[in-house]
Structure 1
Amino acid sequence: MMQKLLFPFFIILSFIGYGQNIQLSEETEVSILTCETGNVSYSLYGHTGIRIKDQINNLDIVYNYGTFDFDTPNFILKFVKGDLQYFMSVSTYPNFEYGYQYENRSIYQQTLTLSKEKKQLLFNSLNADLNSEKRFYTYKFIDRNCTNMVIDKINTLLEDTIITTKKPVDITYREILYPYSKNHFFEQLGINIIFGTKVDQKAERLFLPLELLNVLKTTKLEDKPLVSETKTLFEAKPANYKPSLLNSIYTIILLLTLILLANKKWLNTIYFTLIGFVGIFLCSVGFYSFHEEVMWNYNALLFNPLYLVLLFYYYKNDKKKIIIWGKIIVAILLAYVVYMLNKIHLYLMSPFIITHFIFLSRIILKNKKATQFKTDYNK
């Protein structure tokens, strides 16, 4: 979905100057390129580009949306806020292919059945965007990325919403995303913690490269296939993937088990302080960020800011308040579990759910006993 800036895109600005005046030949091929997923966070979901090849004009270039530059000042903050500017870039096809060969990521090409006039219109439009402020856009994980920017470009060219999800849609965005990070547990955990209710909506928007690849296979234009040919331009070598216990749910289970077994006041305090601040982040990031995906995040019911209130009374040793706030948090946790019963990421959250129930039960029972003992003693 995103492509790291590997070289300054202005090295091909010389092409733009005369690109507007090129008249494409009858032999011109316009195709959608889909690149397989990678092992780096920005490549987990693949990539989409538009290739225009015209041997008569000695032309073979790829237009990319979703190019970004890690050297952007305050990159992380801008990315979280959702106002990071991505941009459209262009490269020669050999350079494009080399980058994905180097990363061992397959490249698939789907040639579009467009008239010469449509090809020319697309070519001119792409170059006009590249040579204007339109090359910049604000990235949105679902609604504005390298895939749906290409989809919108082609649909606009065809003056109809030809490329779209197949109806009725019976799968959510989260369910589509989930398998992509199956070999990257901590990325999968982080994604499912920070994403809120939007990704649990039905996936009406086509937004991932490999999903587009499959949809194009059956898309028709005027009762004829939009794609005339699908072929593999580069096939990645089989990856010798070996699962790592450190990059799995077992690491979380082990860590939480050790904290439970240690049952040290200072360690419990550190843990619930961290949980409380994570909850504050999940509650507040929706006000800061323009990403709709992080808004209304019910994971704040698990990573609950109220743990900080509980810790306050825990340190004051106010047993009655500890019991009250403990019960309140337990009730919220139960509500969270009920809400999560049909969610695909319940499995990821289950170690935290179990741990929090055990912690809270311990605290409530311990303080209840102490309160009861004090009452009996006073009698």
Structure 2
Amino acid sequence: MGKKLLSFLVLVVFFQGFSQNLPLSENTKVSIITIGTASPSYALYGHTGIRFKDLATNLDVVYNYGAFDFQTPNFMLRFVKGDLQYFVTSNSYAEFEYNYRYENRSIYEQELDLPMDKIRTLYNNIHNSLTSDERFYTYKFIDKNCTTMVIDKVNEVLESPVIDFQKPQEQTYRSVLFPYADSQFLQQLGINIIFGTKVDEKATKLFLPLDLMQALKTISYKGKPLVKETKTIYEAQKVTEPFNFFDSIYLLIVLLGIIVVVNNRKLTFTYFTILGLLGLFFSLIGLYSFHQEVLWNYNVLLFNPFYLVLLYFYKKDNFVKFKRVKWLILLMLVIYLLVLLPKVYLISVSPFIITNFILLFRMRMK
């Protein structure tokens, strides 16, 4: 049954691709489709696609960058390393719209005001890439995602970086990303502690779908607006998320508060072991991964591998070295606090900072 279904899907894709490889009429329209955000991590920042519509040839297709194959050998290792190959796919627009309506995600369309020769070139470039090596690319969170790939393809046919960063470069990438997970504390915390110094750079690149949509409204090409109009195809119904204690800073405060109040040696050691292992992971992943966003992660000053060294000397009853490592960790914690003062996620990690100070000052050799 599975093989039959797979064969059917292959035939559908083949005939769909064959039917789309037709000469475009003079009435062909090209537009950038922006999909709104949603709660799941894969939908947190929205999505960008590019649509070609030609009633004369019954063509209505959307090309999407950002697909990947879960069956790739060593998928998780390659995903973490940053050399997993992503690729472009095509879908009928009707299916595309239905899926996002079903997920209750907003759909916006911006028709580009381009001459017909540019539209044909853009279509051929993207469509032909489906069957060539250009179909695959190495994903980068900021530099090469579904939004930047569409920007690059459009700029390529315009023969200049017409779509460029339009906002004042005052915010960092971290500040730009931070509000997207406002209602999901744990996810927001995880994103900020895994990212390193690159996301603290000034945001000089358009890389998020909704920011691209806003920028397109103000961009001109050859003396006229690049976008003819911005249409709302579907406005997502607002869903009020109930307060979730288990996905809030209050859960973190309670858990860490228990560790402080109970003042149990085994519990404290378990906590420091977890912090040390996390710090070791952050340190190693920076050396292993090609993702520039996780390089030079100063959060290791909080989730510090030296906690493992501290516990080792405690177990060995080595008072001198224990004391030295303890004061080294405290110094690193102070430096971390100073580094974090201007950062948007200071409040999110403040329960860790306070807890670590209390436990370290309280910790004594036997």
In the other structure, the counterpart of 1:292 is 292
Q: Within 5 A, what are the aligned runs for 1:197-236?
A: 197-236=197-236
Kindly indicate whether the alpha-carbon contact (under 8 Å) linking 1:9 and 1:90 is maintained by their aligned counterparts in 2: no
Q: Within 5 A, what are the aligned runs for 1:216-365?
A: 216-363=216-363
TM-score by structure 1 length?
0.91
Deviations along 1:142-167, whole A, 9 cap, x unmatched?
A: 11100000000000110010111126
Same amino acid, percent of matched pairs: 52
Q: Letter of the aligned partner of 1:14 in structure 2?
A: F
Once the two structures are TM-superposed, the CA of residue 122 in structure 1 deviates from its matched residue by 0.8
Deviations along 1:272-329, whole A, 9 cap, x unmatched?
A: 1111111111111111101000000000011111111110111122233222211111
Whole-Å separation in 2 of the counterparts to 1:112 and 1:257: 55
Once the two structures are TM-superposed, the CA of residue 79 in structure 1 deviates from its matched residue by 1.4
Once the two structures are TM-superposed, the CA of residue 73 in structure 1 deviates from its matched residue by 3.7
In the other structure, the counterpart of 2:169 is 169
| 1:26 paired to 2:13 | no
Kindly indicate whether the alpha-carbon contact (under 8 Å) linking 1:16 and 1:131 is maintained by their aligned counterparts in 2: no
In the other structure, the counterpart of 1:14 is 15
Once the two structures are TM-superposed, the CA of residue 253 in structure 1 deviates from its matched residue by 0.9
Q: Within 5 A, what are the aligned runs for 1:35-50?
A: 35-50=35-50
Q: Within 5 A, what are the aligned runs for 1:147-186?
A: 147-166=147-166, 168-186=168-186
Q: Within 5 A, what are the aligned runs for 1:69-84?
A: 69-84=69-84
TM-score by structure 2 length?
0.95
Once the two structures are TM-superposed, the CA of residue 332 in structure 1 deviates from its matched residue by 0.8
SS at match of 1:87: strand
Once the two structures are TM-superposed, the CA of residue 78 in structure 1 deviates from its matched residue by 1.8
Deviations along 1:246-284, whole A, 9 cap, x unmatched?
A: 101111111111111121111111111111111111111
Whole-Å separation in 2 of the counterparts to 1:284 and 1:10: 45
In the other structure, the counterpart of 1:130 is 130
Deviations along 1:309-357, whole A, 9 cap, x unmatched?
A: 1101111222332222111110111011111111111111111110110
Q: Letter of the aligned partner of 1:200 in structure 2?
A: D
SS at match of 1:331: helix
Once the two structures are TM-superposed, the CA of residue 13 in structure 1 deviates from its matched residue by 2.8
Q: Higher mean Cα deviation, 257-266 or 32-41?
A: 257-266
Kindly indicate whether the alpha-carbon contact (under 8 Å) linking 2:302 and 2:353 is maintained by their aligned counterparts in 1: yes
Query: Against the structure 1 CA distance between its residues 305 and 37, is the aligned structure 2 distance closer, same or farther, given a 3 Å change threshold?
Result: same
Whole-Å separation in 2 of the counterparts to 1:75 and 1:254: 36
In the other structure, the counterpart of 2:3 is none
In the other structure, the counterpart of 1:374 is none
SS at match of 1:252: helix
| 1:115 paired to 2:120 | no
Deviations along 1:34-60, whole A, 9 cap, x unmatched?
A: 000111111100000000001111110
Once the two structures are TM-superposed, the CA of residue 74 in structure 1 deviates from its matched residue by 3.2
Query: Against the structure 1 CA distance between its residues 40 and 357, is the aligned structure 2 distance closer, same or farther, given a 3 Å change threshold?
Result: same
Kindly indicate whether the alpha-carbon contact (under 8 Å) linking 1:9 and 1:91 is maintained by their aligned counterparts in 2: no
Whole-Å separation in 2 of the counterparts to 1:10 and 1:222: 43
Whole-Å separation in 2 of the counterparts to 1:345 and 1:287: 24
Whole-Å separation in 1 of the counterparts to 2:83 and 2:11: 23
Q: Letter of the aligned partner of 1:179 in structure 2?
A: P
SS at match of 1:307: helix
Kindly indicate whether the alpha-carbon contact (under 8 Å) linking 1:155 and 1:161 is maintained by their aligned counterparts in 2: yes
| 1:53 paired to 2:53 | yes
Whole-Å separation in 1 of the counterparts to 2:10 and 2:355: 50
Deviations along 1:97-129, whole A, 9 cap, x unmatched?
A: 111011100100000001111111111111111
Query: Against the structure 1 CA distance between its residues 118 and 211, is the aligned structure 2 distance closer, same or farther, given a 3 Å change threshold?
Result: same
SS at match of 2:56: coil
Once the two structures are TM-superposed, the CA of residue 69 in structure 1 deviates from its matched residue by 3.2
Query: Against the structure 1 CA distance between its residues 113 and 252, is the aligned structure 2 distance closer, same or farther, given a 3 Å change threshold?
Result: same
The answer for unaligned runs of 5 or more in structure 1 is 1-6, 371-379
Once the two structures are TM-superposed, the CA of residue 18 in structure 1 deviates from its matched residue by 5.2
Whole-Å separation in 2 of the counterparts to 1:171 and 1:10: 48
